[in-house]
Structure 1
Amino acid sequence: DPAFQTTQLYVRNNIANVGNLTEEMLAPNCQLIPVDSSISTKEIINANVLTSISLHSLYKSGRPLVLLGGSYTCPLFRCISHVLNDIYNRYKDHIDFYMIQIREAHASDVWPIGNVVDVKEHRTLTDHLTAACEMIKATKLEIPVLADTMDDTFLKLYSPWPFRFFVIVNGILKLVGMPKEARYDTTDL
């Protein structure tokens, strides 16, 4: 039965999780990989210039930090990426923004539900960074992008799948954004 097979696929691959983060708690730290879409991923890896940065190193005293966690294959992210650019351009002089590229929400070889983007599950760091660069170019994303590590540390700590946002001030979570009825009200942000 095709409907049952789809249901199985959903149960197997739905990694959505509310997580344990609450407002007013210390934001967990993790390593992230800066993504530069102007350089080819193979050049970066071949030159062995990959360096990770600490999430906590992004903090600036008194200045809010907005983390947007998501992936290129997430239809919700692609749909609102232009709105995120507008918010970024309006507030970037007062707020730091970073998009964190995580595991694909609808990888074409794992969970291709309604997907118009053909990106396979990231099996290597090259795959992961290539998908992040494709996301930047295809969505014309202006927000700086960092990639989660291959062991999904950010994904495990922040539970951003398929797309969520977080506002941090002085290392404290001030807002843990949650979708409402499969949508986001960007006024929360």
Structure 2
Amino acid sequence: MFTGIVTDVGDIERVTPTAQGQLHRLRILCSYDQATIADGASIACNGICLTVVASGVAGGRTWFEVDAAAETLGVTTAGDWAAGSRLNLERALKIGDELGGHVVTGHVDGIATVLTREDLPDMARFVLRVPRELARFIAAKGSVTLDGASLTVNTVEDDRFSVLIIPHTLSVTTIGAWRGGQAVNIEVDLMARYAARLTETSR
């Protein structure tokens, strides 16, 4: 489990696909202490919960490797990642940690598209389009996870919604580089999903 509070921005050093292209081995550079990264640990990479298979230190910087399987490559933005791509990172939640965002599973539901970016005096406003089957889980003032960052929904209209991003978040995540047309991973709020399911079963 995660909180959607990004703790580092990593850089993909290399992507190694299998011969069949069904699995990508990713090496990601980060600022985490390598001694704290155990094989089998979970790290959210742009909101995708991935399992560490190896780690080390090279050139004074920590690296870790994860595998992205065919399902992940097909339903998230991971299939487009390449050397040089920057990723929002978050370590798995530990008992006693502060829950600063909301409960995030790291199981991405799909891909949303940034339609517009408006830079305001004290923040940036993004309008995104979500896959229609996920639109019912998006509510004004509710939570949504975009590329691993816990955000509050500002407005909703059909399959479009907006978020307002403060300068701190723009500076410590990859959101500062978002532009129109960009694809981002989306995970809907877990409580919204359960509420929708309860409504369906009660009919």
Ranked by relative contact order (alpha carbons within 8 Å, sequence separation 6 or more), the top structure is: 1
Structure-2-length-normalised TM-score = 0.21
Higher helix share: 1
Q: What is the TM-score with the length of structure 1 in the denominator?
A: 0.22
Larger radius of gyration: 2
Q: Is the strand fraction higher in 1 or 2?
A: 2
